[in-house]
């Protein structure tokens, strides 16, 4: 089951975003699935693997052009089933290198109708949202939670909040 709510946002205010003239049509932003513990680089828990397995169904019918993950194991594991389903190899970027990630998202916009998936963390996803035009106050104050899927149209400056992997 996917539930949607339209959330408003405003024009981009980030330095990298200001130079991007060719955003992809859609950017899907999600936090990694549940992890085993609070260690430095923990793997997904059994519940996390189950949730991650629901990501292809949540994005069924979407032609994914790029998948970006952080250098943390849990983001890479969350993207595995989507990568296998789409045949798109995830690109690994440093968890804190938001500018490089936003530039990579922008470059993907050269393909008409392009869709980009970013599997990140609460902190870097909030920064990415701000860079591509989403006001951080427009999302839940605690940031993205497990199962949140944010669908951003950076050209129209709108955001939908969906869920993925809840009904396995």
Q: Lowest-confidence range among 5-14, 52-61, 134-143, 147-156?
A: 5-14
**CA distance to 44, 87, 96, per residue, from 82 (Å):** 15, 8, 23
Helix ranges (DSSP H) in 67-150: 73-86, 98-108, 122-131
Q: Can you name the residues that pair with 91 across neighbouring β-strands?
A: 68
Q: How far apart are CA 100 and CA 94, in angstroms?
A: 9
- The one-character DSSP state at 120 is E
pLDDT given for residue 2 in this prediction: 42
The winner for highest mean pLDDT among 11-15, 65-69, 156-160 is: 65-69
Report pTM. Answer: 0.88
Q: How far apart are CA 34 and CA 146, in angstroms?
A: 6
pLDDT in tens, 72-128: 999 999 999 999 999 999 999 999 999 999 999 999 987 778 899 999 998 899 889
Q: How far apart are CA 7 and CA 139, in angstroms?
A: 8
Band of residue 157 on the pLDDT scale cut at 50, 70, 90: confident
């Amino acid at each position: 089951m996917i539930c949607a709510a339209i959330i408003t946002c405003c024009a981009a205010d980030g330095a990298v975003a200001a130079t991007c003239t060719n955003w992809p049509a859609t950017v899907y932003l999600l936090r990694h699935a549940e992890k085993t513990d609070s260690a430095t680089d923990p793997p997904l828990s059994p519940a996390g693997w189950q949730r991650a397995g629901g990501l292809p169904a949540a994005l069924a019918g979407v032609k994914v052009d790029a998948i970006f993950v952080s250098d943390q194991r849990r983001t890479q594991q969350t993207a595995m089933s989507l990568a296998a389903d789409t045949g798109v190899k995830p690109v690994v970027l440093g968890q804190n290198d938001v500018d490089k990630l936003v530039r990579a998202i922008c470059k993907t916009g050269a393909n008409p109708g392009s869709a980009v998936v970013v599997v990140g963390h609460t902190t870097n996803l909030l920064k990415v949202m701000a860079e591509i035009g989403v006001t951080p106050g427009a999302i839940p104050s605690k940031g993205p939670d497990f199962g949140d899927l944010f669908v951003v149209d950076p050209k129209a400056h709108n955001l939908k909040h969906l869920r993925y992997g809840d009904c396995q």
